Structure 1
């Protein structure tokens, strides 16, 4: 009987290993077809970095800086997945000019002008560590200033993830623009509006490995952008590793939001192509009741909530409240 059980369990174990191997090697999904954008990223001017900041491991990451060094409010703007900091130029210029604040726009590790592997990081929390190092850089440069952490889409999710980390002490407010709050958030659509495709069998296998403490395979690609070729910019990232995909959004959006005890403004458009913006008010009411939510009728996920005059005025007025 014992021998039979050993044979059975051995067979089950072998079969399970084979299933995991098949899941890990499952073909990448097709990215053919066009994700419908209401803007063309190639039409926005290329604005490269004019500075840099040093991270704790000695790397130097690109940085765009707007506004005067005497400003009493500093805003950090974190970009979304695939893209990089250039697309904040109009928003950052307006806020620096109209609100007399200093705006810092990095290219996150693995993006844009940043050196190193594209769409990958060394460990899951590295993006949060990089953001903490940037916040320290800003405080050292502007010791008199209040520091506001902001971000759009995936960058908004990273700002929320940062808020839930013990390195976020000293941040005076959060500006979230159509943020990615994670897979378990009500605002997250199952297919993200078709913006990217997921290698789901591989994700399932990697989750199982992570559950037993194995993360050696977290550098495998799992996320594939579906931008049509004609809309690509040279520096956009099209593929993400598992650890990078995990590193952007908060692992527990509710707990991260509940940890925020400073002013918060969330702005999104009712016609957001990627997220279900109608869910944002109830999310903030439940988990960050002191926060403010503005849903602009007819606005989309990209250019509208970043550059339209009406939202720029909303951001400026909110930021001026810190003076």
Structure 2
């Protein structure tokens, strides 16, 4: 999702007459796109901001901003801690980037734009931007309604808002016209995509429509939530030739008591059942996942159950993370 947001910002600026530079020393504007899902990327952002302060001293006219989830969560705190910043902007305000830069240039004001009300920004596709790339990202929705007990995403990305199928199809066609052959559909939980207009759309109907586009060779999507993985979506892996045989399906823990405290909405047994159904429909499907260790209250027995699930499923790749408290979440108040 952050790569998509960065592409959006870059194309927005290019369409306004700006050009990218290879060295930050020669930049007139620096945007730092951030993540706050875990503590480590947050710490990296703070470290980078500290180093970037020297550039501001050398070039007082440099405009520097922090965008993304860290900006949404700690906007005013960032402005106080790093006075060299000119603005911070949350994920749902990215469509205001031109307006914000204009206000800074005209009035010299410091701006905190962290409004969760605006919807996803309108797509911008600059001719030649992708420069020979064959893969591209396309956001179909923004936000999350799941409120897993450890997750900060609903608080910094807001509630779910789906983009219209018409808008998605236009952006997909634009990507294809720029030479993109493989598109990855993005969302915090793509399975819950829904749109009600003249016709009612869900994620399955969207997949089926996009795969009809001429010039598109491959289609992927991420991320999926196990509790929303329907039989119809699973069947798409058998029906749609352009849909790559791969799914990223985070399980997070292999212990039912831990899954319950995480508020994941499924059991260990249900997850294994979904994996079996996926492999029945498409025997060569690649399955990757996320797992978290050290969740509050996790026992040795809970941990062993997680290891057991990993051995049983035999994932093609696994992203493992150590639990870190996210202020404002239920898990942060649980204690160990």
Which TM-score applies when normalising by structure 1? Answer: 0.36
Which TM-score applies when normalising by structure 2? Answer: 0.35
Q: Which has the higher helix share?
A: 2
